[in-house]
Chain A
Amino acid sequence: MTSELKPNRGSKPRIAVAMSGGVDSSVCAALLVEQGYDVIGLTMQLYDHGAATSKSKTCCAGQDIHDAKRVADKVGIPHYVLDYEKRFEKDVIIPFAESYQRGETPIPCILCNQTVKFRDLIDAARDIGAEALATGHYIRRVEDNETVSLHRAIDQSKDQSYFLFATTPEQLAFVRFPLGDISKSETRALAEKFDLDIADKADSQDICFVPTGSYTGIVDKFRSGDPSKGRFVHVDGHDMGEHNGIEHYTVGQRRGLGLGGEAEPLYVVEIRPRNHQVVVGPRADLAKHEIDVRDVNWLGALGGVPEAETRIQARVRNTHEPVPALVSRGSRQDQAKVSFDEPLYGVSPGQACVFYDGDQVLGGGWIMPGGTNMTVPHNKRNEGAAVLSA
């Protein structure tokens, strides 16, 4: 663990661990106990589990909270459940629903890290006298003299840096990621070694508050304004029939459109929330050369995003690898412009664009609608950068 905290027999520094009940955060807690810290487990109650799964007689807490309690008991640490239901609704669920209504494809996990986890939970950790908050994320925090930087995990297949781009320097000073230097299989082995019951537990997949996988119910629940049914429109301008509502679509989507009979497969290339149009077209129309990002968090050299174009690697989806790009300050201080060396296909507004310099995370921002479609020469079509699925 990279840390200035030095456990010793005299006075053990207190460290809070965000425990989800999963393997990663459980091992994280057990490791810190083994290293001699005064560890306190904190679990966030984010939503009513019974309501989310439509089982009214089910406890508000899911199995995960019970698992976290069992692990805390096993490793011998105090454990508390913090009720963040209201804040989570306000800061994560409602913005999630609103983002879909704006024709975007949101990532609630990042909003959660940004708000309840790294704001409220850090406050709670400080309040109980902890000197740091550890989480089970796969990402590395490197401390070098006076500076602290964020780097991709050693286990690139588990790297969670995409979800943590918004971690501010102040937050970074307080958080620790003990698993950034080990692989997932090592984590599972440690869970076995510590004899934790959850060693074989599957990784979480879905968005936690939509365990049934149907996020549109959430969008409906918090909808402000009319349902968003509208028309499919081809890029060449012709009408292609009615769609079920813009929140059902994401830029780059090919499957499930129900639009057959075209020579080339059709993709969603743009969503126009104002008139509820879903614009579809051939893959070439997805190509994006340059995008704008908002609410930029900059973790590189002091002074924010450089005004001059600066060489970075950019990642527009968690499942994509970073690609060569240039970043420069945008028209506003908190915005940036990103130009990709090769056009990218399937860049969805509302997703994050994360900046890297090799393994180091330089920050990132939220992808804004628009951007520049570079005209791709015909002989170059179907080549180039990331190929999308979904």
Chain B
Amino acid sequence: MTVQDHRIYLDYNATAPVYAEVVDAVATALRERGNASSVHADGRSVRAAIEDARDSVGELVGVPSSAITFSSGGTEANATVIRGLLGSGAVSKVYCSTIEHPSVLEHVDPQRRSSVNGDGQIDLNKLDDALKKQHEPFLFCIMLANNETGVIQPVGEVSALVHERGGLVLCDSVQGPGKLSLGTDSLGADFLTFSSHKIGGPQGVGCFAINTDVALEPMLIGGGQEKKRRSGTENAPGIAGFGAAARVTGGRSDGEQIEQIRDQLEDALLEARPDAFVFGQNVPRILNTTNIAIPGVSSERQLIKLDLAGFSVSAGSACSSGKVSASHVLLAMGVSEDMAKSSIRISIGAETAWSDLEKFVEIWATL
């Protein structure tokens, strides 16, 4: 049984719905019978599908396909880079911004997290001050765009500062593809990480791109797949699906249209409830994301009532239990706990129609 028939899905930043082309690509790959490491024709056929996908992903994110290593997703990609650099001795300390995804944040000592301003952007002056005291080889992790607020980070400037101090940069770019122009050239980062299911591909696959010759100690060893950077038989159907999603995403040109209805949505929400507050509205955000609070109405209550009314949205970072906690991102921006616990995230995508959002506004206004 599928639940999607009568529902309106507004949670693209959690997972974007899979494209039909992706379903086909995954199904085709599942029908193959070889192992990509095998010498025979069956194996070669699977290998070809993986390498085609690598080309497609490389093209989408603006890096040579040879720089890409597939992983089980963004979390593993982040961990492989961070632990790999610590493991190889290339860096001895890891720093990050306070608004990173938990898959980065939890690798980093709270003392080494760099604060953001009230708009949710990393504070470059404070970062500069902190880096001045840095004498050991280090890694700085900065996300391209925040998954909860959509706020875009000045990755190019951060990279310049970090490089000036002799550090390396990991840019968690999971929320970037299809929403922002990418590529190591413009970002200046040494490592980029991506996730397939944020761009309409299958869950359980992602990658990292390396733009430096610094050594990474692999986390998974034995088998030597992915140029020894990530052993284990490749998730060939997942990778094929990721490649298909990259091709569809690269061919889309509806960004402006999505941004327009997002802005229209925010106008309608704020008109319906002038007491509501949209976070990050003063600074550049990715085109599909709105994080809005209704003071005095808990996120928990909003999520439950919206869910029962047929809308899928999210709030903060839900624990695997389903308990809704205050967003660490909003708290890092200096938002009060009460306010942070009254916010929800709406993230839209290609299939979101304005009529869906009109229905949403109607229900949301009554919460």
Given A59-B321, A61-B320, A78 contacting B307 (CB threshold 8 A):
yes
- Say whether A82 contacts B307, CB under 8 Å: no
Q: Tell whether, in the assembled complex, residue B319 and residue A59 are in contact, meaning their CB atoms are under 8 Å apart.
A: yes
Query: Nearest 8 pairs between A and B by C-beta?
Result: A61-B321, A81-B322, A45-B323, A83-B323, A81-B323, A65-B321, A80-B304, A81-B321
Most-contacted residue by chain A among B301, B303, B304, B307 (CB, 10 A): B304
CB within 8 Å for A82 and B305 given contacts A59-B319, A65-B321, A65-B322: no
Q: A40-B308, A78-B308 are in contact. Are A127 and B321 (CB under 8 A)?
A: no
Residue numbers in B under 8 Å from A79 (CB-CB): 322
Greatest chain A CB density within 10 A among B301, B308, B321 is at B321
B127 in contact (CB, < 8 A): no
Q: Is A208 an interface residue (CB 8 A)?
A: no
Given A82-B300, A83-B300, answer yes or no on A128-B308 (Cβ-Cβ < 8 Å): yes
Interface residue? B332 (CB, 8 A): no
In angstroms, Cα B322 to Cα A78, docked, is: 12
Q: Is B325 an interface residue (CB 8 A)?
A: yes
A80 near B305 with CB under 8 A, answer no
Q: A276 at the A/B interface (Cβ < 8 Å)?
A: no
Q: Does A109 contact B (CB under 8 A)?
A: no
Residues of A within 8 A of B301 (CB): 124, 127
Considering only CB atoms, which chain B residue lies closest to A84 in the complex? B323
Give the tally of cross-chain contacts (CB within 8 A). 43
Taking a contact as CB atoms closer than 8 A, the residue among A60, A78, A124, A129 that contacts B321 in the complex is: A60
**Which of B303, B305, B323, B325: most chain A Cβ within 10 A?**
B323
A102 within 8 A of B: no
What B residues does A82 contact at CB under 8 A? 300, 323
Convert A140-183 into 0s and 1s, putting 1 for each residue whose CB lies closer than 8 angstroms to a CB of B.
00000000000000000000000000000000000000000000
B47 to chain A, nearest CB (A): 38
- Majority SS at the chain A contact face: mixed
Complex Cα gap A81–B307 (Å):
13
Give Cα A124–Cα B301 distance, bound, in whole angstroms: 8
Q: Is the CB of B304 within 8 A of A61?
A: no
* Most chain B CB neighbours (cut-off 10 Å) among A61, A78, A81: A81
User: Is the Cβ of B323 less than 8 Å from the Cβ of A128?
Assistant: no
Q: Once the chains bind, are A60 and B323 in contact (CB under 8 Å)?
A: yes
Please count how many residues in chain B sit with their CB below 8 Å of the partner chain's CB atoms: 14
B325 close to A83 (CB less than 8 A)? yes
In this complex, what residue of A is CB-closest to B322? A81
Q: In the complex, are the beta carbons of B304 and A69 less than 8 A apart?
A: no
On whether the beta carbons of A128 and B321 are closer than 8 Å, the reply is no
A61 pairs with B323, CB closer than 8 A? yes
Given contacts A82-B300, A83-B300, are A128 and B322 in contact (CB under 8 A)?
no
Residues of chain A lying within 8 A (CB to CB) of residue B180: none
* Assembled-state Cα–Cα distance A127/B307 (Å): 13
* Chain A minimum-CB-distance residue to B299: A83
Residues of B within 8 A of A128 (CB): 304-305, 308
Which residue of A is nearest B320, CB measured?
A: A59
- Using an 8 Å CB-CB cutoff, how does the interface string of A68-80 with B read, 1 for contact, 0 for none? 0100000000111
Q: How far is the CA of A40 from the CA of B304 in the complex (A)?
A: 10
Residues of B within 8 A of A69 (CB): 322
Question: Which residues of B lie under 8 Å from residue A81 when comparing CB positions?
Answer: 321-324
**Residues of A close to B307: CB separation below 8 A:** 78, 80
A127 to B303 alpha-carbon distance, docked (Å):
12
**B305 near A61 (CB under 8 angstroms)?**
no
* Bound Cα distance from A82 to B321, whole angstroms: 10
Residues B322 and A80 in contact, CB atoms below 8 Å apart: yes
Closest Cβ–Cβ distance, residue A90 to chain B (whole Å): 16
Q: A59-B319, A61-B322 are in contact. List 11 more A-B contacts (CB 8 A).
A: A45-B323, A59-B321, A60-B319, A60-B321, A61-B319, A65-B322, A66-B321, A82-B323, A83-B325, A127-B301, A128-B304
Contacts of B325 in A (CB 8 A): 83
Instruction: With CB as the reference atom, state the residue of chain B lying closest to A69.
Output: B322
Q: From residue A291, how far is it (CB to closest CB) to chain B in Å?
A: 41
Instruction: Report the minimum CB–CB distance from A360 to chain B (whole Å).
Output: 36
8 Å CB interface, B305-330 against A: 305, 307-308, 319-325
Contact call B322/A127, Cβ cutoff below 8 A: no
Per-position binary interface string of chain A over residues 207-218, scored 1 when its CB falls under 8 Å from any chain B CB and 0 otherwise: 000000000000
The distance in angstroms between the C-alpha atoms of A80 and B321, with both chains bound, is 9
User: Which residues on the A side are within 8 Å of B320 (C-beta)?
Assistant: 59, 61
For A66, the closest partner residue in chain B by CB is B321
Compute how far the CA of A127 lies from the CA of B323 in the bound complex, rounded to whole angstroms: 18
Q: Judge whether A45 and B321 touch: CB under 8 Å.
A: yes
Instruction: Kindly state the separation between the CA atoms of A45 and B323 in the bound complex, as whole angstroms.
Output: 7
Contacting B at CB under 8 A, from A83-118, are 83
Contact B305 A83 (CB under 8 A): no
The smallest beta-carbon distance between A157 and chain B, in angstroms, is 33
Digit string of B86-97 for contact with A (CB within 8 Å is 1, else 0)?
Answer: 000000000000
Interface string of B289-307 (1 = CB under 8 A from A): 0000000000011011101
User: Nearest Cβ distance between residue A10 and chain B, in whole angstroms?
Assistant: 19
In chain A, positions 316-356 with a C-beta closer than 8 Å to chain B are none
Nearest residue (CB) in B for A44 is: B323
Distance, CA A83 to CA B321, complexed state (A): 10
CB distance from B213 to the nearest CB of A (A): 35
Q: How far is the CB of A332 from chain B (nearest CB, A)?
A: 37
Interface residues of B in 263-303 (CB under 8 A from A): 300-301, 303
CB distance from B164 to the nearest CB of A (A): 37
29 A–B pairs (Cβ distance < 8 Å), ordered by A: A45-B323, A59-B319, A59-B321, A60-B319, A60-B321, A61-B320, A61-B321, A61-B323, A65-B321, A66-B321, A78-B307, A78-B308, A80-B303, A80-B304, A80-B307, A80-B322, A81-B321, A81-B323, A81-B324, A83-B300, A83-B323, A83-B324, A83-B325, A124-B301, A127-B301, A127-B305, A128-B304, A128-B305, A128-B308
